[in-house]
């Protein structure tokens, strides 16, 4: 399904078009995009059949390319990953390998083999503004962008694939090709996101309810803060927690046979069997059960415009993730603590899988600059790290468009990108962040007088001519 999203002003897309031309010496025919996501509340509940409340971010992964001609080899270049090139043939022999980032693409393609004819191949480039390793679901964005790209190339052959089916296929791709037993949330919101709305997703039924988020002068803002840390893990932390939750379910079933997942366990039910659990399994279950209740309560508060209550529930969520689920870290805890001390902040919590990444904070619009200033200065003072901010609001989910609908300006090569000089920048477009306290009136290279561009070269030519003339006279 083609998207209503307008790409005309996105410099990243223009960069991607030129990147494709430089690699394949031709113009692309199709572009698919899929956003990253942030979860306002409802963490580590999706694989427990619970509830989550995410929204799609205005940061996207683009897959830009076209069908390959006279070859069965698919080739993809990444702008942000190393090794940067992946080549493979599309068939039932697709498997994990190097480069690892391509496993997300290959895993997604594998799910579409029923719709793909023999010999199908394509050339593409991948560019993204979703921060990598920040807990904003860059992997799901790549999977959903790949699925959407395939749907655009396959046309009618893939027209029966619904958005929910697409999300489920991408989830299976991550299970099978990345060995990550993730829930459905990340792929679901990337595929199903709706501008201006959060989605309350029921991870058992795969249904959702759109929850409007006020976007006006009186409504609060959502600030994402990237801690710029990602602690090295053993690889078992995520599967261990899935296993521990399943242990709690088995204990619940011995008392309540109708229980299928922790989502079915009420707090009153939990009290009747929690002494049968080990301390660690007890705390994992306590978080999952309580988090579902907090998420549903947050939806009720949002509908009532009670942002104070939403903030309280977010902070409670963080405390539970820190103490009971043990997926936070010192840097995230510090960012939350600093944020809660700022007047105008309703609540703050870590978001994503944990062990680094980002926090999400609900804050009054008039307090946003004070919040950024406080976090930036104090976080640097205590950690020697420079955090990055993303002011955000709910954006549209995945889609695709054909390049023949774009303007001539979009088809033209983009201007050279200016070097990034901000000390807090990592891998996001320069317009998505700013240094707190910086003077927005400061002149930049883009405001220099136009005559400089011709006076300097003309002056050089005159000088060279004069030197040559004097030599000839001698």
Q: Tell me the per-residue pLDDT of 7-40, one tens digit each, with 9 for 90 and over.
A: 556 889 999 999 999 999 999 999 999 999 999 9
Phi–psi pair at 76, nearest 5 degrees: -130, 130
Helix (H) or strand (E) holding 171: helix 163-177
- Model pLDDT for residues 110-161, shown as the tens digit of each residue: 999 999 999 999 999 999 999 887 788 999 999 999 999 999 999 999 999 9
Peptide bond into 99 cis (omega under 30): yes
**Does the pTM exceed 0.75?**
yes
pLDDT over 90 percentage in the chain: 74
- Model pLDDT for residues 362-378, shown as the tens digit of each residue: 999 999 999 999 999 99
- Model pLDDT for residues 242-301, shown as the tens digit of each residue: 999 999 999 999 999 999 999 999 999 999 999 999 999 999 999 999 999 999 999 999
Contacts of 56 (CB under 8 A, 6+ apart): 35, 36, 37, 189, 190, 193, 194, 394, 395, 396, 397
- Model pLDDT for residues 149-183, shown as the tens digit of each residue: 999 999 999 999 999 999 999 999 999 999 888 88
Q: Report DSSP state, residue 416.
A: P
CB 191 within 8 A of CB 163: yes
- Model pLDDT for residues 211-246, shown as the tens digit of each residue: 999 767 778 999 999 999 987 655 788 889 999 999
Does residue 59 register a pLDDT over 90?
yes
The CA distance from 338 to 112, in Å, is 46
Rg, C-alpha atoms of the chain? 25
Mean pLDDT over 412-436 rounds to 34
Burial code (b: 16+ CB inside 10 Å, e: under 16) for 240-272 equals ebeebbeebbebbeeeeeebebbbbbeeeebee
Dihedral, CA atoms, 315, 320, 326, 331, nearest 10 degrees? 10
Rama region for 396: left / alpha / beta (φ>0; ψ in -120 to 50; rest): beta
Lowest-pLDDT choice from 74-83, 96-105, 239-248, 395-404 = 395-404
Active-site amino acid positions: 186
The CA distance from 342 to 391, in Å, is 17
pLDDT of residue 10: 81
CB 265 within 8 A of CB 285: yes
pLDDT over 70 percentage in the chain: 82
Q: Residue 424: pLDDT band by 50, 70, 90 thresholds?
A: very low
Q: Residue 408: pLDDT band by 50, 70, 90 thresholds?
A: low
- Model pLDDT for residues 185-200, shown as the tens digit of each residue: 999 999 999 998 999 9
Greater confidence (313 vs 401) lies with 313
């Amino acid at each position: 399904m083609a998207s209503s999203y307008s790409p005309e002003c996105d410099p990243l897309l223009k960069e991607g078009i030129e990147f494709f031309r430089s690699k394949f010496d031709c113009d692309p025919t199709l572009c698919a995009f899929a956003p990253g996501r942030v979860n306002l509340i409802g963490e580590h509940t999706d694989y427990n059949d619970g509830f989550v409340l995410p929204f799609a971010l205005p940061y996207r992964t683009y897959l830009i390319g076209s069908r390959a001609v006279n070859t069965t080899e698919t080739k993809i270049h990444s702008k942000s990953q190393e090794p940067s090139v992946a080549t493979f043939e599309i068939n039932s022999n697709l498997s994990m390998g190097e480069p690892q980032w391509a496993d997300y693409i290959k895993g997604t393609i594998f799910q579409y083999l029923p719709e793909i004819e023999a010999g199908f191949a394509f050339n593409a480039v991948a560019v993204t503004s979703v921060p990598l390793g920040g807990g904003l679901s860059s992997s799901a964005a790549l999977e959903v962008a790949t699925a959407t790209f395939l749907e655009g190339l396959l046309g009618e052959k893939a027209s029966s694939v619904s958005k929910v089916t697409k999300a489920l296929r991408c989830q299976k791709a991550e299970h099978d090709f990345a060995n990550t037993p993730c829930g459905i949330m990340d792929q679901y919101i990337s595929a199903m996101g709706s501008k201006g709305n959060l989605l309350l997703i029921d991870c058992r039924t795969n249904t959702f309810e759109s929850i409007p988020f006020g976007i006006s002068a009186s409504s609060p803002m959502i600030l994402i803060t990237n801690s710029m840390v990602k602690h090295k893990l053993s690889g078992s932390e995520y599967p261990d927690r899935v296993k521990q939750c399943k242990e709690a379910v088995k204990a619940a079933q011995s008392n309540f046979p109708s229980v299928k997942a922790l989502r079915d366990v009420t707090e009153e039910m939990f009290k009747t069997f929690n002494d049968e659990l080990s301390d660690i399994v007890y705390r994992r279950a306590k978080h999952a059960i309580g988090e579902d209740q907090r998420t549903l309560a947050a939806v009720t508060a949002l509908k009532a415009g009670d942002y104070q209550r939403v903030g309280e529930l977010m902070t409670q969520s963080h405390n539970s993730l820190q103490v009971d689920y043990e997926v936070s870290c010192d840097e995230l805890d510090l960012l939350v603590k600093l944020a809660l001390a700022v007047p105008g902040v309703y609540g703050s919590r870590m978001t994503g899988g944990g062990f680094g990444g980002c926090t999400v904070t609900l804050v009054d619009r008039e307090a946003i600059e004070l919040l950024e200033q406080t976090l930036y200065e104090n976080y640097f003072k205590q950690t020697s790290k420079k955090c990055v901010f993303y002011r955000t609001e709910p954006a549209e989910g995945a889609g695709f468009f054909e390049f023949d609908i774009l303007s001539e300006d979009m088809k033209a090569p983009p201007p050279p990108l200016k070097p990034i000089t901000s000390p807090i920048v990592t891998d996001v477009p320069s317009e998505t962040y700013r240094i707190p306290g910086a003077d927005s009136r400061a002149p930049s290279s883009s405001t220099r007088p136009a005559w400089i561009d011709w006076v300097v070269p003309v002056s050089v030519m005159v000088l060279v001519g004069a030197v040559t003339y004097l030599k000839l006279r001698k």
